[in-house]
Amino acid sequence: MTSNASLNDDQSAQVTALAMDLARDGKAEELAEFLNHGLAVDVQDADGNTLLMLAAYRGQAGTVSMLLGRGANPDTCNSRGQSPIAGALFKGEDAVVALLVAAGADLDAGTPSARATAAMFGREHLLG
């Protein structure tokens, strides 16, 4: 794979879509190869989802950890205003929530915020 800078728009969209699938599926090693070859860690799909958002929502703790270790922004919200930590709280992904809290995720970012989501589902204790 070549750097995103040398890809046309269609190729770049295809690479992004493949990477998003890897994030959803928790294939951290394969996803790391995309990042090693120039894919931005905070790349967003057409809906504003980042790799971190999709991995967090799907409970892929290993992938979330890898992405955070590579500098993924834990506070980037998608086009609906949802943050990765609120998504993980909604899905009941406690291990992912812990990783995002440890990474300093903004508990007041997004709509609804992580605090509001935790309150909705009785998971306030996960926020520290």
Q: List, for residues 17-49, the tens digit of each pLDDT value.
A: 999 999 999 999 999 999 999 999 999 999 999
Separation of alpha carbons 128 and 125, rounded Å:
6
| Average pLDDT for 85-93 | 96
Q: Where along the chain do its domains lie?
A: 4-127
For residue 13, count other CB atoms closer than 10 A to its CB: 13
- CA 115 – CA 90 distance, rounded (Å): 11
Q: CB of 34 within 8 A of CB of 72? A: no
3-state secondary structure of 18: helix
Prediction pTM value: 0.92
Q: What average pLDDT does this structure show over 92-116?
A: 97
**Dist. CA 24–CA 46, nearest whole Å:** 15
pLDDT surpassing 70 at residue 119: yes
Give the mean model confidence (pLDDT) for residues 64-88. 97
| CATH 2.50.20.10 corresponds to the domain 4-127 | no
**pLDDT at residue 93 above 70?**
yes
